[in-house]
A and B are shown apart, each in its own frame.
Chain A
């Protein structure tokens, strides 16, 4: 049995979580998932400004902080902290923790291969809209293929203490230690599906161990010291989801089910570079407090394609707010919204979209919200999006004047004008897997 813990569900997750996972009990592998869909584009921009950047900068100091304990207790780290510059990330780790052996997985970054792919006739149509990528070719900021568990396992096979990848899948981080330790084969679909589902359960950190859980949430113990999840994996593919006994939070079939359903599509076809997992085969059992045993998982052959994660520039947006107080807060906010739209139209400004929400009335749930006829205050929230930066910038000047020249009772403008933000949008497409070759490099 091996213990695989996830200490980071995204870049920006709780900094203390990985430290507590190491300090509060036994683990064999610490996995850290830093990459969300648009993180790669942010990192690409950082690398353009400074060729030594482009990776998750939280990672090297964390490894520096943990280095001695990792070495003493033989805990291996697997992280997709490399972003668009895994080599620079590896050197930063070596600088922070000189005694550790670091391996890097290369090959996911295809930013400079888009034209080569187009030349080969790959249209890279967006998986959501079906549009061919030629439409946004000039706006592309980053392009990466999702890498599966086998290159990461190969990196662990070198004896590395820290494995750094770029755009590996979230689930591969957890599956890789199982492939490495149990020598699972590339066509062992049921076991690979089990490890993939274990990865899905822990990839969002504490979201499977009591965080964001609806069931009995007021009585989930000690959320301030919430325990991040641990998988106790067995060679046959069965595993147990748990947490350190002295940490807070809760691991129960309720918390695990909520995470299993999170960001799920067709449950019988959960596609990864490693296999297709079938969520309708999962059997859960609450065997002990804070221990959920997972068995029965079946899987099928890996798809012939890999998914590309592409980010591209798509114009500008700004979102501004004003607060209207009782009485008639809703009517006043609606009147202010009409005035802003009238003034923007009078200026001849055009936007792709102007979207208004009344915060405190129905911003989250729209028509599904419960009635709230006379709220004590309402936040008017107006957003605009468009390709013309000047128009978006002009919009940001149209809210504050309403405090003096619009309906009565406006406040909440202390933050000043809203910021104009560049939109980095996301494009996903498929590419034949033979196009992507990975390579493991030990850095010292």
Chain B
């Protein structure tokens, strides 16, 4: 069944230079497998379209039921160079809550 990611996960995002990181955390332990299966670097890059110019990396933290996504070249130069309202990617995590995922 297709659901928005926000039905099974919560997120927090921030910045390191021109890279945005999004932590995606399962709302219940049983949702972690679906997050690992569905929230792939390829799908996340496609979801954000032109907002993410570089690659997307993913790290798994099964102990926290979470994955950490690094979105490279995603903040218009980052820090004080960026001309974007969300130069630190503070809202990118919230954006990802809309991504459709297949839930068991």
Q: Please report A residues at the B interface, Cβ cutoff 8 Å.
A: 37-38, 128, 212, 214-215, 254, 257-268, 279-284, 314, 317, 319, 353, 355, 357, 359, 363-370, 381, 383-385, 423-426, 428
Q: How far is the CB of B57 from chain A (nearest CB, A)?
A: 9
A38 cross-chain contacts in B, Cβ below 8 A: 79-80
Contact A212-B12, Cβ < 8 Å, known A262-B23, A284-B64, A370-B98: yes
Q: List 11 A-B contacts (CB under 8 A).
A: A38-B79, A128-B19, A214-B94, A215-B27, A258-B10, A280-B63, A283-B63, A364-B86, A364-B95, A425-B79, A426-B80
Taking the nearest CB of chain A, how far is it from the CB of B98, in angstroms? 7
Give 4 nearest A-B pairs by CB, closest first.
Answer: A261-B23, A383-B83, A367-B49, A355-B83
With the chains together, A268 CA to B62 CA distance in Å? Answer: 12
Query: B70 interface residue, CB < 8 Å from A?
Result: yes
User: How many angstroms between the C-alpha atoms of A353 and B60 in the bound complex?
Assistant: 36
In the bound complex, residues from chain B placing their C-beta under 8 Å from that of A268 are: 59
Q: Name B55-90 residues within 8 Å CB distance of A.
A: 59-66, 68, 70, 76-81, 83-86
Q: Quick one: closest B residue to A207, CB to CB?
A: B12
Interface presence of B25 (CB below 8 A): yes
A263 to B49, CA, bound (A): 22
A257 touches B91 (CB 8 A): no
Known: A214-B93, A258-B11, A364-B95. 19 other contacts (CB 8 A): A37-B79, A128-B19, A214-B10, A214-B11, A214-B12, A257-B64, A260-B23, A260-B64, A261-B64, A265-B21, A265-B68, A267-B68, A279-B64, A280-B63, A283-B63, A365-B94, A368-B51, A423-B80, A428-B17
Contact at B12–A261, with CB atoms within 8 Å?
yes
CB pair A258 B85 closer than 8 Å: no
* B interface, over-half SS: mixed
Which chain B residues lie closer than 8 Å to A283 at the CB level?
A: 63
Whether the pair B80, A261 counts as a contact (CB closer than 8 A) is no
Which A residue sits closest to B72, measured CB to CB?
Answer: A128
Given contacts A314-B81, A367-B48, A425-B81, contact A257 B14 (CB under 8 A): no
Closest to B27 in A: A215
Residues of B within 8 Å of A369, CB to CB, are 95
CB-CB < 8 A to B77: which residues of A? 353
> Residues of B with Cβ closer than 8 Å to A?
10-12, 14-19, 21, 23-25, 27, 47-51, 59-66, 68, 70, 76-81, 83-86, 91-99
Contact between A267 and B50, CB atoms less than 8 A apart? no
User: When chains A and B are docked, how far (Å) is the Cα of A424 from the Cα of B17?
Assistant: 13
Please, how many angstroms separate the alpha-carbon atoms of A264 and B76 in the complex? 19
Complex-state Cα separation, A267 to B85, whole angstroms: 28
Point out the residues of chain B lying under 8 angstroms from A259, CB to CB: 12
Q: Is the CB of A426 within 8 A of B79?
A: yes
Q: Write out the residue numbers on chain A whose beta carbons fall within 8 Å of the beta carbon of B97.
A: 214
Residues of A within 8 A of B16 (CB): 263, 265
Q: How far is the CB of A211 from chain B (nearest CB, A)?
A: 11
The CA-CA distance from A264 to B12 in the complex, in Å, is 10
- Cα A314 to Cα B85 in complex, Å, equals 19
Given known A215-B10, A267-B61, A423-B81, contact A363–B86 (CB-CB < 8 A) = yes
B81 (CB) vs chain A CBs: closest residue: A425
CB <8 Å contact, B12 and A280 = no
Partner of B23, one of A128, A264, A370, A428: A264
Residue of A nearest to B52 (CB): A366
B64 engages A254 (CB within 8 Å)? no
Chain A residues with Cβ under 8 A from B68's Cβ? 261, 264-265, 267
- Chain B residues near A423 (CB, 8 Å)? 80-81
CA distance A416 to B11 in the complex (A): 38
- With contacts A258-B10, A263-B15, A367-B51 taken as known, whether A281 is within 8 angstroms of B81 at the C-beta atoms is no
Q: Does the CB pair B21–A264 fall under 8 Å?
A: yes
Question: Contact between A261 and B66 (Cβ–Cβ < 8 Å)?
Answer: yes
Q: A267-B59, A280-B62, A366-B49 are in contact. Are A384 and B83 (CB under 8 A)?
A: yes
**B97 nearest in chain A by CB position:** A214
Q: How far is the CB of A183 from chain B (nearest CB, A)?
A: 29
Least CB separation from A319: chain B residue: B83
A88 to chain B, nearest CB (A): 26
Q: Which residues of A contact B86 (CB under 8 A)?
A: 363-364
Min CB distance A124 to B, Å, is: 16
Residue of chain B at shortest CB distance from A354: B83
- In the complex, chain A residues whose CB is within 8 Å of the CB of B85: 357, 359, 363-364, 381
Q: Which of A215, A261, A279, A281 has the most CB of B within 10 A?
A: A261
Q: How far is the CA of A258 from the CA of B93 in the complex (A)?
A: 11
Contacts of B19 in A (CB 8 A): 128
Q: Which of B18, B61, B91 contacts A128 (CB 8 A)?
A: B18
Interface centre among B63, B70, B80, B86, by most chain A C-beta atoms within 10 angstroms, is: B80
Q: Do A254 and B25 touch across chains, with their CB atoms under 8 A apart? A: yes
Complex CA gap A128/B76 in Å reads 14
